[in-house]
Chains A and B, each alone.
Chain A
Amino acid sequence: MQRPPAAAPPRLSLRGIRKAYPSVVANDGIDLDVAPGEIHAVLGENGAGKSTLMKIIYGVAKPDAGELRWAGRPVEIANPHAARALGIGMVFQHFSLFETLTVTENVALALDGARDLAALARRIQDVSQRYGLPLDPRRLVHSLSVGERQRVEIVRCLLQAPQLLIMDEPTSVLTPQAVGKLFETLRQLAAEGCSILYISHKLDEIKALCTMATVLRAGRVSGTCDPRRETASSMARMMIGKDLPVSAHAEAAAGGEPRLVVAGLSQKADDPFGTDLDDVHLTVHAGEIVGIAGVSGNGQQELLYALSGEAPLAEPVPIRLLGAEVGRMHPGRRRKLGLGFVPEERLGRGAVPNMSLAENALLTAHRAGEMVRVGLVRAARTTAFARDCIERFTVKCGGPEAEARSLSGGNLQKFIVGREVLQAPKVLVVAQPTWGVDVGAAAFIRQSLIDLRNRGTAILVVSEELDELFEICDRIAVIAKGRLSPAKRTRETNVEEIGIWMSGLWPGAHADAMPAPTGMSHAPD
C-alpha cells in the first residue's frame, strides 16, 4: 500500500460507495475526499443521493460496496456511536429531536457521557451565544418552531467538538446577519482544523463559503469543482444537467381589490411558549404576492393558524376574506369562500401520510373538483384530479395511488402546492413554499405562484428565505415578536433593510419592544 509521503491523508476518503434500495440505486460508485480544515460542499437535487451518502458516513446506513477511510485508515462505521467516536458530527435535515423532552435532554442524548444536566445547560447557553444561535435550554422541543429546532441540532453538534461536521441545509432558517455569523463560525472551525461537509441548495452560499464541491446527480458524481471559480449557473448545470429555469416576474398590476384584510389582530398564544400576536395589520390585494419575512418563532405559526382557521378567533372582525368577516369560521368554511392554504408541515398537516395522493387531493379539493355527490366519493374524478396535478406539476411518484409518505419532500410539496393552485383559489396562503426543496422544484413552485398571481389570485407567502421573498413578492412585510411591520414594495427595499427589520427595528415600531420569548432580541451586528 503506497501513499505519497509528504501530503497528509484526507480526513475522510470515500471510494466506490454503492448503496441500493429495493426500488432505487441511491449511490453508485461515489468517490469523495475531504481534507482537514476543508469546507466541502455536496451539491445535488433531491433524490440525487446526498442524504444516503451522509447516512453512510454517519453510520446510519451501511454501504453495499466501497470503502471508507478515516485519516488514511480503512474504517467501518457500524453505527452513529462509532461515527461520533471518530469525531463525526451531523446536523440532520429531518430533525432527530424528541418533542416531549427539553432542549438540554435532547442534547444530552446525543452526547456520550453527558450526565450533569445543569452543567450541560450552561454549556448549551455558552455555545449558543457564542455562535449567535439563541436557545433556551429549558424549553420543550415541541414548543419550538422549525427554525429553533434546527438551532438545537446545530448546537448539539458544536458541543461534540467534532473533527468532521456534516451540515445539511443549515442556513435556511437564519436571518442574513445570522448566516454571516454562522459562516464566520464555520470558517473559524475550519481554521481550527475541523472539516465540514456542507450540503445546500443555495449556490451563492456555497460560492461564499466552500473551497471544494462535489456534485451528485442520480446517485453518481457528476463533477467536482472549486465553487469560488464557478458561477451559480455553471454549478446548477452540473447539478440538474441543464440550465436553471429563471422565474419570470413582472410588476403586479396595481388596483386589485383587497381580498384578505387583517385589521388589528391581537391574540394570546395557547401554547405557554408561543408568541402573542400584537395588533397585526395586513392587506393582500387581488393579483399581488405579499411576503412575510422573519426568523421563525416570532409569531408566524400563530398568524398562520389564525388565517387558516385552525385556531378560530373569539370575534369575527379582525380577519376579512373577500369582505366576509371570517375570524370565527373554521377552515372548511373559509375554504368554501375561496381560501387555499399550504401549511409548513407537509406530512401530517398538508397531507395524510398513509393516504394515497388521490385521497389527499380529495381532502381539500372536493369542492372545486366536484368530487363528492350526495355524500359519495366520485373516485374517477378524484383520481383524474390527482393525475392532472401530478402531470402538470411534474410530481415524481408512483401515480395517484402512491401513499403521500412515499414521496420525497420536494415532490410532495409540488403536489400539495399543485393541489391548491389547481383549485384556482381567490386567496392563497402559503407557508415555507420551498423548505428543503431542490432548486429545480423550488423555481417551478415559485413560477406557479407567480402564474397564479397573474391570474388574479391574492397570495400571502410566509417564508424564512429572503432570496425567495425578494424573487416573487410584490410587497414584503416583516414579523418580529408577534408584531408585523408595514409592507414595503420589494423594489424599494433591500435584503439589508429587511434583515434589520427582522430584529423588530422598523420605523414606527414600539420603542418599548418586549424581548422575544426565546431571548433572541440581539441587535444585528
Chain B
Amino acid sequence: MTDALVPILVATLAAGTPLVFAALGELVAEKSGVLNLGVEGMMLCGAIAGFAATAATGSATAGMLAGVAAGAATALVFAVLTLTLQANQVAAGLALSIFGVGLSAFAGKPFESIALTAPQAFAIPVLSGIPVLGPVLFAQQPLVYLSWALFGLVSWFLYRTRAGLVLRAVGESPVSANAIGYPVIGIRYLATLFGGAMAGVGGAFLSVIYTPMWAENMTAGRGWIALALVVFATWRPGRVLAGAYLFGGVTIAQFFAQGAGAAIPSQLLSSLPYLATIAVLVLISRNPNVIRLNAPVSLGKSYHPDS
C-alpha cells in the first residue's frame, strides 16, 4: 500500500509547487494593496522564458532565473500602469493575463517540438532514508525545497519583521501610511515585482521541471487558481500552502482515476482539482471576523499621495 502511495504523494507535492510560488507571490502583492489579476499571464511569460533559457543553455537554473526576470518584467508593466499612471487594477490585471497568453504563445512557437530532460531530483542524505516520509518530502526537486523556504520566509517577513509590518500597513491604509511617512508607491512597486517574479518561477517550474516541454497556454488556469487561493485562504500563508497541495493532490488523484479507467468523462475529472480546491477553501473561510482581520482593506484601490 505505502509503495503505491509514495509516488502519488511525490507527484502531489510537485503538482502543487507552481501554485505555492505564484500564490505566495500574489499574497505579498495583495497584502500591500495591489490586486494583480495578471498572474496567469505572468506565469506563462515565466514558463516560456524559462523553457527557452533552459533549451538554449541546458541549465535548469538559468531557466528559473529567466522565469524570475520574465515574471518581474511583466509585473513591472502592470506596476507602471496601475501605480504610476493610476490605471484601474482590475482592468489592467485582466489585460495583462490576456497579453501574457498571447505573447507566450507567439514567443513559444519555435519551441513547441522541443523536449527537455527534467533535472534529477535531489535526495537529502539521511533524511530521505526515512520510510515513506523520506522519499516523499526529502527526495524532491531542489525547487520544491525552495518553495518551502519561500513559505517560511514570507510568513516570517509578514508577521515578524518591521518591513513586513510596514507592507501590511500600506495595504491596510495607504493614507495613514503616507501620513506617518512611508513611501506607499515604492513599497507597492516592490511587492508587485516580487509577486511577478514568484509567478514567473511558478511558470518556469511547470515548463522546465514538472512537464519538461512547452505547450501553448500550458498553465491551464493555474494562475487563476493561485489568485483564488490567496482570497479563500484569507491572505494567510499557511492556508495558501495547504490549498496548493490540495489542488496538487486532486490533480494527481484524477490522473490515477483516469488511468484506472474510471467511468467518468475525463473532462469532468480534469475539472475536479479546481472544483475541490475552491469548495474546500470556501468552506473553511466563512468566518467574517477572520476575513476582516486579514483582508488588506485598500486591496485593488488606486492611491495617489496628493489626493
Q: Which residues of A are at the interface with B, using a C-beta cutoff of 8 A?
A: 59-60, 79-81, 83-84, 92, 95-101, 105, 108-110, 114-115, 140, 142
B169 at the interface (CB under 8 A from A): yes
**Do the beta carbons of A105 and B165 come within 8 Å of each other?**
yes
**Do the beta carbons of B173 and A108 come within 8 Å of each other?**
no
Residues A109 and B173 in contact in the complex (CB < 8 Å), given A100-B297, A115-B162: no
Residues A100 and B181 in contact in the complex (CB < 8 Å), given A108-B162, A108-B165, A115-B162: no
Residues A96 and B172 in contact in the complex (CB < 8 Å), given A108-B162, A108-B165, A109-B165: no
Closest 6 CB pairs of A and B: A80-B181, A96-B176, A81-B181, A96-B179, A98-B172, A98-B169
Q: Residue B294 contacts which of A60, A100, A110 (CB distance < 8 angstroms)?
A: A100
**Do the beta carbons of A109 and B179 come within 8 Å of each other?**
no
**Do the beta carbons of A99 and B180 come within 8 Å of each other?**
no
Inter-chain CA distance A128–B262, complex, in Å, is 67
Inter-chain CA distance A100–B162, complex, in Å, is 15
**Do the beta carbons of A59 and B165 come within 8 Å of each other?**
no
**Do the beta carbons of B181 and A59 come within 8 Å of each other?**
yes
Contacts A79-B181, A99-B172, A109-B180 known; 5 new A-B pairs at CB < 8 A: A96-B175, A99-B297, A101-B169, A109-B165, A140-B293
Q: Residue B181 contacts which of A84, A101, A142 (CB distance < 8 angstroms)?
A: A84
**Do the beta carbons of A100 and B180 come within 8 Å of each other?**
no
- Residues of chain B contacted by A97 (CB below 8 angstroms): 173, 176
Residues A98 and B173 in contact in the complex (CB < 8 Å), given A79-B181, A80-B179: yes
Can you give 17 A-B contacts (C-beta < 8 A)? A59-B181, A60-B179, A80-B181, A83-B181, A92-B179, A96-B173, A96-B175, A97-B176, A98-B168, A100-B172, A100-B292, A100-B297, A108-B165, A109-B169, A109-B180, A110-B180, A140-B293
Inter-chain CA distance A99–B179, complex, in Å, is 15
In the complex, which residues 6-58 of chain B have their Cβ closer than 8 Å to any Cβ of chain A? none
- Residues of chain A contacted by B180 (CB below 8 angstroms): 80, 96, 109-110
Could you tell me the distance in whole angstroms from the C-beta of A74 to the nearest C-beta in chain B?
21
- Residues of chain A contacted by B297 (CB below 8 angstroms): 99-100
- Residues of chain A contacted by B177 (CB below 8 angstroms): 98, 109
B166 at the interface (CB under 8 A from A): yes
- Residues of chain B contacted by A95 (CB below 8 angstroms): 176
Q: Residue B166 contacts which of A80, A109, A142 (CB distance < 8 angstroms)?
A: A109
- Residues of chain A contacted by B165 (CB below 8 angstroms): 101, 105, 108-109
Inter-chain CA distance A100–B173, complex, in Å, is 10
Could you tell me the distance in whole angstroms from the C-beta of B158 to the nearest C-beta in chain A?
12
Inter-chain CA distance A406–B180, complex, in Å, is 23
Could you tell me the distance in whole angstroms from the C-beta of A90 to the nearest C-beta in chain B?
9
Q: Residue A100 contacts which of B166, B178, B182, B293 (CB distance < 8 angstroms)?
A: B293
**Do the beta carbons of B181 and A99 come within 8 Å of each other?**
no
Could you tell me the distance in whole angstroms from the C-beta of A311 to the nearest C-beta in chain B?
14
Residue of chain A at shortest CB distance from B166: A109
- Residues of chain B contacted by A142 (CB below 8 angstroms): 292-293
Could you tell me the distance in whole angstroms from the C-beta of A68 to the nearest C-beta in chain B?
17
Could you tell me the distance in whole angstroms from the C-beta of A349 to the nearest C-beta in chain B?
16
**Do the beta carbons of A99 and B173 come within 8 Å of each other?**
yes
Residue of chain B at shortest CB distance from A92: B179
- Residues of chain B contacted by A80 (CB below 8 angstroms): 179-181
- Residues of chain B contacted by A115 (CB below 8 angstroms): 162
Scan B178-221; emit 1 where CB is below 8 A from any A CB, else 0.
Answer: 11111000000000000000000000000000000000000000
Residue of chain B at shortest CB distance from A55: B179
Could you tell me the distance in whole angstroms from the C-beta of B88 to the nearest C-beta in chain A?
15
- Residues of chain B contacted by A83 (CB below 8 angstroms): 181
Residue of chain B at shortest CB distance from A142: B292
Inter-chain CA distance A109–B176, complex, in Å, is 10
Inter-chain CA distance A140–B168, complex, in Å, is 14
Inter-chain CA distance A80–B179, complex, in Å, is 7
Inter-chain CA distance A92–B176, complex, in Å, is 10
Inter-chain CA distance A142–B293, complex, in Å, is 9
- Residues of chain A contacted by B166 (CB below 8 angstroms): 109
Inter-chain CA distance A115–B297, complex, in Å, is 25
Interface centre among B162, B166, B293, B297 (most CB of A within 10 A): B162
- Residues of chain A contacted by B162 (CB below 8 angstroms): 108, 114-115
Inter-chain CA distance A142–B294, complex, in Å, is 12
Residue of chain A at shortest CB distance from B305: A60
Inter-chain CA distance A108–B168, complex, in Å, is 13
Residue of chain A at shortest CB distance from B180: A110
- Residues of chain B contacted by A92 (CB below 8 angstroms): 179
In the complex, which residues 137-170 of chain B have their Cβ closer than 8 Å to any Cβ of chain A? 162, 165-166, 168-169
Residue of chain A at shortest CB distance from B306: A61
**Do the beta carbons of B181 and A98 come within 8 Å of each other?**
no
Interface centre among A83, A84, A96, A108 (most CB of B within 10 A): A96
- Residues of chain B contacted by A84 (CB below 8 angstroms): 181
- Residues of chain A contacted by B176 (CB below 8 angstroms): 95-98
Inter-chain CA distance A142–B166, complex, in Å, is 18
- Residues of chain A contacted by B292 (CB below 8 angstroms): 100, 142
- Residues of chain B contacted by A140 (CB below 8 angstroms): 293
Could you tell me the distance in whole angstroms from the C-beta of B105 to the nearest C-beta in chain A?
40
Could you tell me the distance in whole angstroms from the C-beta of B163 to the nearest C-beta in chain A?
11
Inter-chain CA distance A172–B28, complex, in Å, is 39
- Residues of chain B contacted by A109 (CB below 8 angstroms): 165-166, 169, 177, 180, 182
Inter-chain CA distance A97–B180, complex, in Å, is 9
Inter-chain CA distance A318–B177, complex, in Å, is 44
Scan B269-297; emit 1 where CB is below 8 A from any A CB, else 0.
Answer: 00000000000000000000000111001
